[in-house]
């Protein structure tokens, strides 16, 4: 047996010994590191899944006013699907149902006329953050009115009332969405 054969066997044995030591260390001491990596990876995947709809959202304008004009145009076309997409994501289904109900009851044209009037007289309130913009307006009821708010009957007496429309900026796409109407 020559020196080359002897060195080759020791080299192979050394590699196997180091590999076995690495596996043993991983079993004995590596679990916290592996567990921490797994938790971070799962958190990153969850965050990406939650942010995906916001990154893919393309419906809205560069300003709140532009978004509201797009919303009004969709109402003029009676495109309920499109009109509901100008709302923040978590309110789109609710508004789609509301607008479908307005259309079914032939109230969509009246709602559109009301919203056009709102935009003509709204006033921008100082924004509280770069991602929130509020517009205030007054409206007058000459006669009392009954309203159904989520199943609760409300009666409004004749008079002047103040209301607001609030927009939120989707920072992932830099578009404005209607939050409160």
Q: What is the pLDDT of residue 150?
A: 64
> Which pTM value belongs to this model?
0.69
In the structure, what pLDDT confidence band is assigned to residue 69 with cuts at 50, 70 and 90? very high
Number of independent structural domains in the chain: 2
Could you tell me if 118 and 37 lie in one domain?
Answer: no
HSE-CB at 59 with a 13 A cutoff on CA atoms is 18
Same domain, 41 and 71: no
Task: Tell me: do 77 and 163 sit in the same domain.
Answer: yes
- When pLDDT is averaged across residues 129-136 and rounded to a whole number, the result is 87
Q: Is the pLDDT score of 148 beyond 80? A: no
Q: Are 64 and 135 in contact (CB under 8 A)?
A: yes
Angle, to 10 degrees, between the axis of helix 92-104 and the axis of helix 108-121? 120
Domain carrying residue 8: 3-55
Examine the domain organization and report whether 77 and 132 are in the same domain: yes
- Are 27 and 106 part of one and the same domain? no
CATH label of the domain that carries residue 108: 3.10.450
* Cα separation, 115 vs 164, whole angstroms: 12
- Of the spans 53-57, 65-69, 143-147, which averages the highest pLDDT? 65-69
151: left (phi over 0), alpha (psi -120 to 50) or beta: left
pLDDT, tens digit (0-9, with 9 covering 90-100), for 2-24: 545 555 566 677 777 777 777 77
pLDDT band at 71 (very low <50, low <70, confident <90, very high): very high
- Same-domain check for residues 49 and 123: no
Mean local confidence (pLDDT), 26-53? 74
Q: Is the pLDDT of residue 177 over 90?
A: yes
Same domain, 84 and 168: yes
pLDDT-wise least confident of 62-66, 85-89, 129-133: 129-133
* Same domain? 13 vs 68: no
Task: Give the model's confidence band at 44: pLDDT under 50 very low, under 70 low, under 90 confident, else very high.
Answer: confident
Q: Do 88 and 176 reside in the same domain of the chain?
A: yes
C-alpha gyration radius of the chain: 30
**The pLDDT of residue 50:** 76
Together in a domain, 82 and 164: yes
Does 43 share its domain with 131? no
In a shared domain, residues 153 and 75: yes
């Amino acid at each position: 047996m020559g020196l080359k054969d002897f060195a080759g066997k020791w080299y192979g044995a050394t590699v196997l010994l180091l590999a076995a030591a690495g596996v043993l260390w991983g079993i004995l001491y590596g679990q916290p590191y592996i567990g921490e990596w797994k938790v971070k990876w799962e958190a990153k995947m969850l965050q990406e899944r939650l942010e995906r709809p916001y990154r893919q959202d393309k419906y809205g304008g560069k300003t709140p006013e532009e978004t509201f004009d797009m919303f009004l145009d969709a109402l003029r076309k009676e495109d309920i699907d499109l009109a509901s997409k100008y709302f923040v994501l978590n309110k789109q289904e609710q508004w789609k149902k509301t607008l479908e109900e307005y259309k079914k009851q032939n109230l969509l044209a009246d709602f559109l006329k009301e919203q056009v009037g709102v935009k003509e007289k709204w006033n921008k309130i100082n924004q509280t953050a770069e991602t929130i913009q509020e517009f205030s307006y007054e409206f007058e009821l000459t006669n009392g009115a009954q309203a159904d708010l989520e199943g609760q009957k409300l009666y409004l007496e004749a008079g002047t009332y103040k209301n607001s429309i609030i927009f939120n900026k989707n920072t992932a796409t830099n578009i404005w969405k209607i939050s409160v109407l």
